[in-house]
Amino acid sequence: MYQLAGKRVYVAGHRGMVGSAIVRRLAQENCELLTSPREVDLREQAAVREWFAANRPDTVVVAAAKVGGILANDSYPAQFLYDNLMIEANVIDAAHRSGAQKLLFLGSSCIYPRMAPQPIPEEALLTGPLEPTNEWYAIAKIAGIKLCQAYRREYGCDFISAMPTNLYGPGDNFDLTSSHVLPALIRKAHEAKVAGAPSIEIWGSGTPRREFLHVDDLADGCIFLLKNYSGEEHINLGSGKDLPIIELAQLVCDVVGFEGQITKDTSKPDGTPRKLMSGDRIAKMGWAPRISLRAGIEDAYRAFLEQQA
């Protein structure tokens, strides 16, 4: 078991939804938290090397990434590929050079083939073609997993990877053009309620199924893996349940208190038909998520209202 108490822990991406949730969770671990200043652009190798050499973290979490929903992924392929490759390569290599003992890299469930068996086991990686709307991001995240494996093999580094499912929660991006589905639905339902509008519009057919994990559960799972896992294989981190987007929209409307219609814009992409991950591996190690989807959406809606105020 890896001890976090007394360690110098660096969370790359601590201002984002995922990084800030990990920082909140680390407060329970009696460790020293390190964060890099805004001027350190993680895409710039020299700046990253310099920061690591000066600060020498023992433990590193790579939560920094260029992220976005289906439309942002489809619209900015160069940024999703280049920025993510640079961030992960710079941080992983600098962690090795400065002698970090442990590193956790965070990927995404979109690394798996579009038509992977459901629920998706970790072994499905690289067994088939990717979903075209997010292949750029997926390729970058697959490279991150491989970097951790390669640094383990060549240099003996204890670098591990976790693959979270679709995440949501406080600190999410609620911008309608670049966000993921859940924050977009919260905003659409809230604004329609306030305006007294008759309907909200969802993208695509509403039939794709998605699995959602509250970011506080994700953070807890990350700390669990840092402490309890050391191995080459990446580990799935999900809630174990998925639902069609139309049902998610109905649930969000219910939580928000919007009683109008839900219409569909089928000119927008559906993306992958289903991506429910198998959580068997982490369950066997003894970890399970705690936050139900309804309670999680209530929390995310509260956070949205606070962000608006």
19 annotated ligand-binding residue: yes
Least gap, CB of 156 to ligand GFB (angstroms): 31
Is the Cβ of residue 35 or residue 79 nearer to ligand GFB in the bound state? 79
20 annotated ligand-binding residue: no
Least gap, CB of 128 to ligand GFB (angstroms): 16
**2 labelled catalytic:** no
287 annotated ligand-binding residue: no
198 annotated ligand-binding residue: no
Question: In angstroms, rounded to a whole number, what is the distance separating the alpha carbons of residues 50 and 117?
Answer: 43
Is the Cβ of residue 18 or residue 181 nearer to ligand GFB in the bound state? 181
Q: Which residue is nearest to ligand GFB (CB)?
A: 69
Is the Cβ of residue 48 or residue 245 nearer to ligand GFB in the bound state? 245
Least gap, CB of 84 to ligand GFB (angstroms): 10
Question: In angstroms, rounded to a whole number, what is the distance separating the alpha carbons of residues 191 and 197?
Answer: 8
Least gap, CB of 280 to ligand GFB (angstroms): 20
Burial of 78 (0-12, 13-18, 19+ CB in 10 A): exposed
98 annotated ligand-binding residue: no
Among candidate residues 2, 10, 82, 137, the one labeled active-site is 137
Least gap, CB of 212 to ligand GFB (angstroms): 9
Phi, psi of 235 (to 5 degrees): -120, 130
Phi, psi of 71 (to 5 degrees): -75, -40
296 annotated ligand-binding residue: no
Is the Cβ of residue 31 or residue 192 nearer to ligand GFB in the bound state? 192
Q: What residue ranges bind ligand GFB (CB under 6 A)?
A: 69-70, 73, 108, 110, 133-134, 137, 166, 179-181, 184, 202-204, 208, 210, 245, 268-271
Q: From the annotation, which residues make up the binding site for substrate?
A: 188, 203, 210, 270
Q: From the annotation, which residues make up the binding site?
A: 13-19, 106-109, 141, 164-167, 180, 188, 203, 210, 270
Residues labelled catalytic: 137
Q: From the annotation, which residues make up the binding site for NADP(+)?
A: 13-19, 106-109, 141, 164-167, 180
